[in-house]
Chains A and B, each alone.
Chain A
C-alpha cells in the first residue's frame, strides 16, 4: 500500500520542525520526515517524494533582512547539487502536481514573500502581500481566537465550525496587501481563511490583543484559490492536545486540540486525491 508522506523543512533558523512532524503523524500521515535544507540542496532528499510540505515556524536567517526574506532569496536562487535545477523548480513542480503546502508563522512569511500566496491565477512567484512588524512594536506570545470562513476553498480548514483557538508567537505578523485590488480579490474569493476575532468567533476584530498585530482586515491565515496552499501566523502544531491549552486545568476540553484538524484534513486529502 502506498504511504502518505509529509516533509518538514528545517535549517537556518527553523525552530518548530519537531512538533510540526509530530502533528503530521498524529493527524494521520504514515511518514513525517524532518529534512534539513542542506539535505535538500545536496540532492539527498527530493520534495517530489512527498505529498505534504510543511514550512514551519522559526527565525530563518534571524529574520535579519525582514522575516523570511533571506530564505525566500535562497530558495529562488540556490541550485540543487548534481541536478542542474534550482530549488525553486522543485517547489513549482510540487505545486503543479496538486500537492499540499502549509506555512506556519515564519513559513507563512516565507510563502508570502516568495509569492506562493495568495497565488492568484497559478502564479506562485509574485509577491502581492506581506507580513510586517506588529503594530505594538514587539514580539508577542499569546493565544488568539480565529474565526473561520466556511466558504473558503482551503482543504485544511474543512469541517472547522465557527473557529479555532491557537497560540501566536511572532513579531512580524501584520498582514498587508500591495493595494485594494489584491485585498478585494482575497475577500471576494474567500481566501482569508482565518481572521482574528473575539472568543465567540463572531466579528473579525482590529482590537489589541485579540488582534495581536494590527493585520489588515484582521487576516491571520490565507490560502490560494485552489485551497491546497495555505499559510497562517498562529501555530496549529502547538495545540494538538488539551494540555497545550492555557486553561486546560480549569476547562473541560476534548482530548485533541483545535490545531490538529488542519493536519487531519491534510492527511485525508492526500489519501483521497494523491495516493493513486
Chain B
C-alpha cells in the first residue's frame, strides 16, 4: 500500500513559490486571489516500515527549520480550494527519482522493480472564486495536462474525504512484446493512411520506395533466411521512418531544386547543403590555405576548430521548437540538455564550456484570440525561460550569450535555439581527439538514462506542421543530473581509452545513433531485449526509436568492457551492452534472440532518391512609408528603447548562471551599474591562461519580409560585428548556421511553397557570398523546416529565420573591449557609413510599416574596417565599442551612454552617408539599421594612434562623451533632434520586461 508523505512550510515562513503563483493568477487570469500556499507531496510506493517512513519524512524529505511533515495525514488548512498536480504515468519525475535514491540510502535496500516514489505539489488557494475559476487556474497555470494530471477539491470536499488518497502514477501496460508485419501490398491511399496514422511522416513516394524494396525477390529470399516474412516488420518501418525523416535526413536541404529568379532565369541546384553550405567551408578553407583552422566539419555531432597547440573548440547549436510549443518547460529543458550531448559526443568527447540561447516568441502581452492547442505566448515565454534555466544551471555550464526576438508569427511555433561549446584536447591517448572509429567486433553500449515511451516519434512529428493531434509522447523532460553523472563518468573513461566511439542518442533514439554508428563499420547486431526500460510493456519498435533522454551510445572494444562497466557502476551510471558492431552490411535487430529487423545498410542510408522541389522568386513590394520629418525624435527613441526587440532582457539573463567554471571575462551585462548590454561574450576556458573564446550571434527575421538574401547577409554581418566589437580575432573565427523555416514544399495546404523555397535558396546564396568574403568557414548547423501551425482553418507560418552564431578567439582576453562609455571627454567615432535603409527596421515596425530598402552589406569595405579596428583593440586605444543593430545609431548611443553613466553629444551632420543624398535626413541617420557599423569611443590622448590605424577606412568623429548625463543629438540643421536624460532612457529600456 502506498503512503503519502507531505512537507509543508511552517506558518511563519514565507512561501515564495506560492507568492509567485499568486502573482501569475492575477497577471494572467485577472482573478483576485488572497493567498496561495504550497505543499510537497511524496507518494511512496514501496514496503517501508513506519519508522523508515518517519526517517524519510524527517530526513531528506523535509527541512526541520522551515517545514513540518506528516504521513498519511493532510497538513492543509485554511484554504478554499486545493489543487494537486503530479506527473502522468511514465513522464520523467526527477524529484521522485531523487527521493527514491534518498530512501535507498536510508534503508540500505534498493527498490524492487515496480516500486517507486512519485512527487506532486498541492496548491492551496484562498480567494472568492468558483470551481470553474479554479479549473482555469489549474489548466492555465499550474498544470500542463499533456504531461501532468491534476485534481481539484473544495475545502468541504477535502474535509469530507480527509484529503487526497495516495495515487500511484505507475505505467500499467500489458507485458506483451509484439512485432507486427505490415502488408504493403495495398493501394496508394492505404499506404498514405499507414504513414499518417503511424506518425511516420513518410510521403506516398517514400512509401512506394519501401513497398518496392520489399517486393524485390532477392530481399524476400534474404529475409526468409532470417525467419522474416515478405512485409516489413513494424520495427523496420518505424526505423526507416526515423532515418528518412526530414529531421534526420534533411531531405529539403539535400533535394534537387529548380530555382527561377525574378527575371525568369532558371537554375537547377543539386542539394543546397552541398552547393552552398559545404562548398562555403571547402572554398574558405582553400582560401585560408595554411591558416586553415578547421579540424572536423559536418561529419560529427558538432564542428571542431583549433584553439591553440594543445586544445580544440567544439560548437553546436540546435533547435527544439516543436516540443517547446507543446510543453515549453520540458521542451526547452530537453533542448539544452540535448544539445549538451552534441559536443560531448563529438570526436572522443569534449568538456562543455558554455551554452548560448536564442528564443523567438510572440508578444508575451498578446491579447488577441489564439487557435485552440496553441499556448499563450506568455506561457511559452515563462516555460521556455525556466526550462533552459534549469537545464543550463544544473548542468554547470555558463550561459554566456543569447537573445530574445519577438514577432507575432512566432505564436504559431516558438523557436528555441540552444547552443553548447566544448573544449577538447587535440590529442587524446596518442590519437587526434576529434577523430574516432569503430571496428567490427566492438560492443554496442548504451549509457545513462533508461528507455520509456517518452519522445516516441519526436523526429517524425517535428517533420510535420503542428496540429491538433500532435502526439503527447513526443514530449520528453530532461534530467540534467542523470546526464551530469554520465558526463562525469564518461570524460574519465575517455581519458582511460575505455571506448573507441561515442555519439549522442537524440532524435530517432537508438535507430539513429546505432544506425549511424553501424554506417561507420558496415553493420551491427543488437538485441533490444537487453535495453534497460523505465517500466515494462514497451514493444521492440518503441525501444528502438524512443527519444528518452540522457543517453549516449558507444563502441567499446571487448577487451575494455569489464573495466568500462565496473567504472560505470562505481560512478552510479547505468551501462548496458546491447550487441556488437559487424561488417556484414546489415542493420540487424533482434528481440530476445529473434530477428525483428533486418535492413541492408545501403537501403537504409542511400535508398531515398533526392526530393524534387520548385522555387520561384518574386520580390515582394511593400508600401514605402513616408519618413516623418520632425524637430524632435526623443519620443521615438524612448518608444524604440521600450520595444520588445530592443528592451533590456536582464530579468531573463540574470536567471542564467553566466559565470560558473570561473572563466567569465565579458559578461552579458556590464557598465557602471552592471546593466548595459554586451555585444558578445568572452570566456577563458583554461584558467591559467589568458587566451579567450569569443562567441556572438546575429538574427534578424524581420528582413525576411523583404528579401531573405539580405536577412541572411545582415545576420552574418551582425554576428561578426558583435564578435569583432569585443576584440575577437578575424584570423580564427568560424560560423554555425541554423535555419528555421516555414514549410517550403508545395502541396495543397501549402500553395506558396515555391516562394518559401526561393527564400531558402536566396538565403543560401547569401550564406556562401558573405562567408566567403568574411573568411568564415561553416563548421556545423541544423535546419528545422516545418515551423508552421495549421488546424484546418488558421495557418501561421514563422518568418524565415537564420540564426548565425560565431565562435573564435581573442589571444589575450585582457584586451577585450566593452560597450559602456568610459570617461567624459572621450571622442565618439562612428565606423562605417549610414544609408537610407529603414526597410524592415524596428523604426518602421514602430510605425506599422515594413518598407523596401533593406540594409545592404558591403563585405569588402567592412572586412577591411573590421581588421583595422581589431588592430586598434590590440594596441589598446579603444575605450568602448558598441555594435549598431536594431534601432540604429540613436539606440546604440543611448545604450552606450547609460551603460557608462555619462552623456553623449552627437552631430548627425558628421555621419558619413552612402547612396542617394536625397534620402539623407535626420530620421534615417538616427534609426537606419545600415550594416557593419560600430560606435567607438577613444581617449583624446589616443586620437592620433586610433585615426592612424583606421586610416583608409570609412569612419568619422561624430561627437564626444559628456559629464552631463544626457543624450543630445544634433540634426542636420544644427538643432537638437534628441535630448533626453540617461535615467529616463534607461527606464524606458528596462521597464518592458522587468516584471517578467
| Residue A249 interfacial (CB < 8 Å) | yes
Most buried by B among A12, A78, A237: A12
Q: Which of the segments A14-22, A117-125, A186-194 contacts the partner chain?
A: A14-22
- CB atoms of B101 and A139 under 8 A apart: no
- CB atoms of A141 and B661 under 8 A apart: no
| A-B pairs with lowest CB-CB distance, top 6 | A15-B396, A19-B662, A64-B98, A130-B65, A73-B60, A133-B16
- CB atoms of B659 and A249 under 8 A apart: no
| Residue A151 interfacial (CB < 8 Å) | no
| Residue A5 interfacial (CB < 8 Å) | no
- CB atoms of A38 and B572 under 8 A apart: yes
State the CA gap A12–B102 with chains docked (Å).
Answer: 13
- CB atoms of A36 and B655 under 8 A apart: no
B39: shortest Cβ distance to chain A, in Å? Answer: 13
Chain A, residue nearest B815 (CB): A249
B1-56: which have CB < 8 Å to A? 13-14, 16-17, 19-20
| Residue A31 interfacial (CB < 8 Å) | no
Chain A, residue nearest B42 (CB): A65
Jot down 8 A-B pairs with beta carbons below 8 A, ordered by A.
A13-B480, A36-B488, A65-B102, A70-B102, A127-B65, A138-B655, A243-B690, A246-B667
State the CA gap A64–B571 with chains docked (Å).
Answer: 19
| Residue B378 interfacial (CB < 8 Å) | no
Chain B residues whose CB sits within 8 angstroms of the CB of A177 once the complex forms: 65
Known contacts A243-B814, A250-B900, A128 near B16 by CB under 8 Å: no
Q: Which of the segments A45-53, A55-63, A154-162, A266-274 contacts the partner chain?
A: A55-63
Known contacts A19-B662, A59-B393, A65 near B95 by CB under 8 Å: yes
| Residue B61 interfacial (CB < 8 Å) | yes
- CB atoms of A13 and B105 under 8 A apart: no
Q: Count of A-B contacts with CB under 8 A?
A: 183
Chain A residues whose CB sits within 8 angstroms of the CB of B108 once the complex forms: 77
State the CA gap A15–B687 with chains docked (Å).
Answer: 15
Q: Mark B473-506, 1 if CB is under 8 A from A, else 0.
A: 0000001110011001000100000000000000
Q: A16-B396, A64-B481 are in contact. List 7 more A-B contacts (CB 8 A).
A: A77-B106, A132-B16, A137-B17, A141-B654, A169-B393, A243-B814, A250-B818
- CB atoms of B101 and A22 under 8 A apart: no
Q: Mark A129-155, 1 if CB is under 8 A from B, else 0.
A: 110111111111111000000000000
Known contacts A38-B571, A142-B654, A130 near B66 by CB under 8 Å: yes
- CB atoms of A243 and B813 under 8 A apart: yes
- CB atoms of B101 and A250 under 8 A apart: no
Most buried by B among A16, A62, A128, A132: A62
- CB atoms of A73 and B660 under 8 A apart: no
Chain B, residue nearest A178 (CB): B65
- CB atoms of B389 and A64 under 8 A apart: no
| Residue A235 interfacial (CB < 8 Å) | yes
State the CA gap A214–B94 with chains docked (Å).
Answer: 28
- CB atoms of A135 and B14 under 8 A apart: yes
| Residue A113 interfacial (CB < 8 Å) | yes
Chain B residues whose CB sits within 8 angstroms of the CB of A15 once the complex forms: 395-396, 660-661
Which range holds the interface residue count of chain B? 35 or more
- CB atoms of B817 and A249 under 8 A apart: yes
- CB atoms of B65 and A128 under 8 A apart: yes
State the CA gap A132–B492 with chains docked (Å).
Answer: 34
| Residue B670 interfacial (CB < 8 Å) | yes
- CB atoms of A64 and B95 under 8 A apart: yes
Q: Mark A237-261, 1 if CB is under 8 A from B, else 0.
A: 1101001101101100000000000
Chain A, residue nearest B96 (CB): A64
Q: Mark B663-679, 1 if CB is under 8 A from A, else 0.
A: 11111011110100000
State the CA gap A247–B821 with chains docked (Å).
Answer: 12
- CB atoms of A244 and B17 under 8 A apart: no
| Residue B684 interfacial (CB < 8 Å) | yes
A222: shortest Cβ distance to chain B, in Å? Answer: 13
Chain A, residue nearest B655 (CB): A139
| Residue B413 interfacial (CB < 8 Å) | no
B183-201: which have CB < 8 Å to A? none
Chain A residues whose CB sits within 8 angstroms of the CB of B670 once the complex forms: 246-247, 249
Chain B, residue nearest A138 (CB): B655
The interface residues of chain A, by DSSP majority, are classed as mixed
State the CA gap A73–B659 with chains docked (Å).
Answer: 29
- CB atoms of A169 and B60 under 8 A apart: no
Chain A residues whose CB sits within 8 angstroms of the CB of B655 once the complex forms: 138-141
B573: shortest Cβ distance to chain A, in Å? Answer: 9
A residues apposed to B, CB below 8 Å: 10-16, 18-19, 22-23, 36, 38-39, 42, 57-59, 61-66, 69-70, 72-74, 76-78, 113, 127-130, 132-143, 167, 169, 176-178, 214, 235, 237-238, 240, 243-244, 246-247, 249-250
Chain B residues whose CB sits within 8 angstroms of the CB of A13 once the complex forms: 394, 396, 480-481, 484-485
- CB atoms of A61 and B101 under 8 A apart: yes
| Residue B984 interfacial (CB < 8 Å) | no
A14: shortest Cβ distance to chain B, in Å? Answer: 8
Q: Mark B362-405, 1 if CB is under 8 A from A, else 0.
A: 00000000000000000000000000010001111000000000
| Residue B940 interfacial (CB < 8 Å) | no
- CB atoms of B820 and A176 under 8 A apart: no
Known contacts A169-B660, A243-B665, A247-B672, A38 near B570 by CB under 8 Å: yes
- CB atoms of A250 and B674 under 8 A apart: no
Known contacts A64-B95, A140-B654, A141-B657, A176 near B65 by CB under 8 Å: yes
A42: shortest Cβ distance to chain B, in Å? Answer: 6
Known contacts A62-B480, A64-B99, A137 near B16 by CB under 8 Å: yes
Chain A residues whose CB sits within 8 angstroms of the CB of B480 once the complex forms: 13, 59, 62
- CB atoms of B63 and A132 under 8 A apart: yes
- CB atoms of B660 and A57 under 8 A apart: yes
A11 interface neighbour in B389, B485, B687, Cβ under 8 Å: B485
- CB atoms of B687 and A22 under 8 A apart: yes
Chain B residues whose CB sits within 8 angstroms of the CB of A137 once the complex forms: 16-17, 19-20
| Residue B816 interfacial (CB < 8 Å) | yes
Chain B residues whose CB sits within 8 angstroms of the CB of A70 once the complex forms: 60, 98, 101-102
Chain A residues whose CB sits within 8 angstroms of the CB of B813 once the complex forms: 243
Chain A residues whose CB sits within 8 angstroms of the CB of B66 once the complex forms: 130, 132, 176
- CB atoms of A10 and B488 under 8 A apart: yes
| Residue B306 interfacial (CB < 8 Å) | no
| Residue B658 interfacial (CB < 8 Å) | yes
Chain B residues whose CB sits within 8 angstroms of the CB of A238 once the complex forms: 659-660, 662, 664
Most buried by B among A23, A58, A135, A141: A141
| Residue B933 interfacial (CB < 8 Å) | no
State the CA gap A76–B654 with chains docked (Å).
Answer: 34
A16 interface neighbour in B94, B658, B662, B669, Cβ under 8 Å: B662
Chain B, residue nearest A20 (CB): B662
| Residue B59 interfacial (CB < 8 Å) | yes
Known contacts A137-B17, A169-B657, A178-B65, A142 near B106 by CB under 8 Å: no
State the CA gap A58–B661 with chains docked (Å).
Answer: 10
State the CA gap A64–B92 with chains docked (Å).
Answer: 13
| Residue B915 interfacial (CB < 8 Å) | no
State the CA gap A139–B658 with chains docked (Å).
Answer: 12
| Residue B625 interfacial (CB < 8 Å) | no
B659 interface neighbour in A138, A141, A214, Cβ under 8 Å: A141
State the CA gap A78–B95 with chains docked (Å).
Answer: 20
State the CA gap A144–B746 with chains docked (Å).
Answer: 57
A250 interface neighbour in B95, B479, B822, Cβ under 8 Å: B822
- CB atoms of B94 and A64 under 8 A apart: yes
State the CA gap A113–B65 with chains docked (Å).
Answer: 9
Chain A residues whose CB sits within 8 angstroms of the CB of B488 once the complex forms: 10-11, 36
Chain B, residue nearest A65 (CB): B60
